[in-house]
């Protein structure tokens, strides 16, 4: 961050901490992360929830928009007893906190409850975040929302324990691509060391999150990669590789949509393409679109133009129409 940006973040950090400190311990607190939560969204939210419980807050619940289903790879994360379905979330909590959502529409049907809260703290690290909520704790230079969450937990005097550390470490390692991405700074490694000291187990997290899949998921991966196409002339000559899954694929292999989330990391290894694009079915003619760049292309600009958001090297949006129509829109925006 620049000095000005750092000063603004510090002011918002104190505002966020003051909002939490000013609450009664039995106050209603609603934590919300984005739809189809990844490791950063879910891990940051659960880690923060457990931190609030450590501070004595007794009425804390966490949730995310439908489909309300935790991906199997995250089933080991502590604190899931605090999860409630979105239909059971308080309609007007005394404090609302959102995690890893770059736009309000990523919060789905839970956005009205956050707007109705006594105060709404936004924890995020996406450069495309336009700024919403009451307290905007947003740092685009942070490698993950877990970095921002850890700063707020520190400001509140929360002691990192094994459960909190496991959540935050999972969030940190997923959003940095196992510490491979550009935003893997010295701060990231210092935080990782703290989390390991507090009890997080890197080998266990890696095995659960990155190295364990049902055998049927390999068949699904084969079907998706069988549709992969590369166009070296796309993205202004930087190259584009695309692929998509269908609802029939998921049915055939008996897999949930969450299994598809990691496929983009395989697609992006294509040497001939700077940009990778994966379409994941959400509903008829509705797709979750993941975009990745190897460095030459700002995919967040494409995602924002198409109603989504993200970072320069990783972004996404919701696409509508046939797979061919959505991919055509991406190609146009890439130039």
- Average pLDDT on 14-21 reads 98
Residues 169 and 272 in one domain: no
DSSP string covering 264-323? HHHHTT-TT-SEEEEEEEEETTEEEEEEEESSSS-HHHHHHHTT-EE-SSEEEEEEES-H
pLDDT at 182 (0 to 100): 82
Residues 80 and 171 in one domain: yes
Whose tokens are 């509705």? That residue is 286
Residues 260 and 221 in one domain: yes
Domain count, the chain: 2
Task: Please give the residue range of the domain that contains residue 292.
Answer: 215-334
Phi-psi map region of 108: left, alpha, beta (phi>0 left; psi -120 to 50 alpha): left
Please give the DSSP secondary-structure letter assigned to residue 160: P
Residues 282 and 135 in one domain: no
Residues 266 and 135 in one domain: no
Residues 66 and 81 in one domain: yes
Going by C-alpha positions, the residue among 34, 54, 36 that lies closest to residue 45 is: 34
Tens-digit pLDDT profile for residues 33-58: 998 899 999 999 999 999 999 999 99
Rounded to an integer, what distance in angstroms lies between the CA atom of residue 243 and that of residue 188?
32
Residues 141 and 241 in one domain: no
CATH of the domain at 321: 3.10.310.30
pLDDT at 3 (0 to 100): 44
Tens-digit pLDDT profile for residues 215-238: 999 999 999 999 999 999 999 999
* β-sheet with 60-63: strand ranges across: 60-63, 29-33, 95-99, 120-124, 135-138
CATH of the domain at 186: 3.90.1640.10
The answer to pTM > 0.85 is: yes
Of 186, 209, 232, the position where a domain reaches its end is 209
Residues 97 and 140 in one domain: yes
Of 182, 209, 236, the position where a domain reaches its end is 209
Residues 298 and 182 in one domain: no
């Amino acid at each position: 961050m620049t000095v000005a940006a750092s000063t603004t973040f510090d002011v918002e950090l104190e505002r966020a901490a003051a909002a939490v400190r000013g609450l009664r311990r039995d106050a209603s607190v609603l934590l919300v992360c984005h739809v189809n939560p990844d490791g950063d969204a879910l891990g940051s939210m659960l880690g923060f929830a457990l931190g609030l419980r450590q501070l004595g807050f007794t009425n804390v619940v966490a949730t995310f928009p439908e489909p309300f289903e935790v991906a199997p790879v995250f089933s080991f994360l502590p604190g899931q007893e605090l999860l409630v379905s979105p239909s059971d979330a308080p309609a007007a909590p005394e404090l609302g906190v959102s995690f890893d959502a770059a736009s309000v529409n990523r919060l789905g049907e839970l956005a009205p409850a956050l707007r109705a809260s006594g105060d709404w703290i936004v924890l995020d690290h996406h450069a495309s975040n336009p700024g919403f909520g009451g307290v905007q704790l947003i740092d685009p230079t942070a490698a993950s929302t877990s970095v921002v969450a850890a700063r707020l937990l520190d400001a509140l005097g929360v002691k990192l324990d094994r459960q909190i550390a496991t959540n935050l470490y999972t969030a940190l390692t997923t959003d940095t691509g196992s510490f491979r991405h550009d935003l893997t700074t010295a701060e990231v490694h210092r935080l990782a060391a703290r989390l390991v000291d507090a009890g997080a187990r890197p080998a266990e997290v890696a095995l659960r999150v990155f190295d364990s899949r049902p055998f049927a998921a390999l068949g699904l991966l084969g079907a998706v990669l069988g549709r992969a196409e590369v166009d070296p002339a796309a993205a202004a000559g930087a190259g584009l590789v695309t692929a998509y899954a269908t609802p029939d694929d998921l049915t055939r292999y008996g897999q949930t949509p969450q299994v598809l989330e990691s496929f983009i990391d395989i697609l992006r290894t294509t040497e001939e393409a700077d940009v990778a694009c994966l379409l994941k079915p959400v509903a008829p003619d509705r797709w979750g679109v993941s975009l990745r760049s190897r460095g030459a292309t700002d995919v967040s600009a494409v995602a924002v133009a198409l109603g989504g958001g993200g970072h320069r090297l990783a972004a996404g949006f919701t696409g509508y129409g046939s797979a061919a129509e959505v991919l055509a829109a991406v190609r146009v925006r890439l130039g």
